[in-house]
Amino acid sequence: MQSRKERHQHEIKNAELNDGKNYKNKRPNKNKWVRKKRNLLLVLLLIIVIIGGAVFGGKMLLPDKNAALDPSDTRFRSVTISSGSTPQQMGQQLEKAKIIKDADYFYKYVSKHGAQNLQAGDYVLSPSQTIPLIVSQLSEGPTAEPKLSKGYILVRVGDSNDTIINKINKQTDISSEKLKAAFDKKSVIKQMSKQYPELLKGIDGTTGDEKLLNYVFPAAYNLNKDKTADEVVNTMLSGTDKLMQPYYSVMKKDGLKAPGIIAILAVSGKAEFEHRRAFIKKIAPYAEQLQKKYGILASISIAQAAHESNWDDSDLSSKYNNFYGVKSEDKDNSVVLSTKEYVDGKETTQKARFAVYDSWKDSMLQHTQLLLKGTDWNADQYKDVIKAKNYKQAAQALYDNHYATDINYTKLLTDLIETWNLQRYDK
């Protein structure tokens, strides 16, 4: 039997053991607190992400008020900013011309960045330009080079191939050597001809004169996505192809090549292209009749009429039916007008008396008679023109036989004939 003392000691031990267990059960759980703290941090982080996303998403959803109307529309349009226009009116003119998104955006921008610097005048602008770029251009004045964003280039009328290559090089960092090689490479020409057969009809890459750069429309091009020279070639020809789509049916019907038509459209526009084509269609049948009867090449008759009359836009042509600038001493059937002549290769303006005709057909007939019968002082003056077997020989003979004093006359005629495929009327 246990004594009281022993029992007492045993109870004390049991009590101590029980107290230890109870203490352990009541002690804070460290892992649970860590989990709570971690969960709290995750919630805070999630809140921050949601708020940040909302702000960023809001910026993405809200439009950039100063962004370009259409970054992909790189066509340039003529826009006249009227003299005396306020910044608000300028913005309205630009919005109406579909160059910018909103006139109010334009006004708010210029109000902060110098509205007093804006100048009136005739500008060439594009929907691919941002408002800051447009404002910069308007501040420099009508003669300023169009402003473009990084990665864009502007091919202008009259730019040489080397100038275009240098512009591309500056915006893409692709070497000039690689660019030149790509535009002239036979394999690239072959591939591009498959992709754009109507644009590149007639080019085979075997002659030095047929360069792909000659088929590039003077316009702006976005080269930001292009990493290689071949991609640049494709981008520029793709843009040209889109611009030329409305003219392919006419080119096919008349046998025209793209470079000449591109030059006319870029310089003079669609209306002038249609005007010139209509002029050719009007006089070509009669030129063919004169060729059959008298032997003067129809292409020469048409080309001279177009060149001498400025496509029937000169006063002498439109008012007096004189296509060829034929002079006359008959005071009853003539008119005195200013004319440009070349003396020792230099252009001068003089007064002269020109023949007046009842109809344009009379003018063409008289021109044919002049070539056949010569002048009063030399009946055989144009004998080489009459003997010519093709338009190139005839054009050279006109200068050699002193029909014209302009040293560039032969090239002007041959270029005009080839651009409009006028030789087709010589058959």
Q: Residues 381-427: pLDDT tens digits?
A: 999 999 999 999 999 999 999 998 889 999 999 999 999 999 999 98
Torsion of CA 235, 209, 402, 313, to 10 degrees: -10
The phi, psi pair for 401, rounded to 5°, reads -90, 10
**Predicted pLDDT at 339:** 73
Identify the pLDDT of residue 15.
46
Report the C-alpha dihedral over residues 230, 216, 203, 191, rounded to 10 degrees: 20
pLDDT attached to residue 35: 65
Looking at residue 349, the DSSP 8-state letter turns out to be: E
Q: What is the dihedral of CA 17, 22, 26, 32, to 10 degrees?
A: 70
Question: What pLDDT is recorded for position 59?
Answer: 43
Helix locations, 246-326, DSSP H: 248-254, 258-294, 298-308, 315-320
Give the pLDDT confidence score for residue 26 in this predicted structure: 47
d(CA 120, CA 87): 10
Asked whether 386 and 345 are in contact (CB, 8 A), the reply is no
Neighbours of 308 (CB within 10 A): 19
Please name the residues in contact with 422: beta carbons below 8 A apart, sequence gap of 6 or more.
Answer: 280, 284, 298, 299, 302, 303, 391, 416
The residue length of the chain stands at 427
What is the dihedral angle through the alpha carbons of 367, 373, 374, 377, rounded to the nearest 10 degrees? -130
Residue 200 three-state SS: coil
Contact 193, 185 (CB under 8 A): no
Q: What is the DSSP string of 16-34?
A: HHHHHHHHHHHS--HHHHH
Distances from the Cα of 61 to the Cα of 51, 124, 129, 243, 385, angstroms? 15, 31, 21, 32, 71
Output the pLDDT for position 60. 42
- The pair of structure tokens assigned to 270 is 């669609």
Residues of the chain with pLDDT under 70: 1-63, 204-210, 341-345
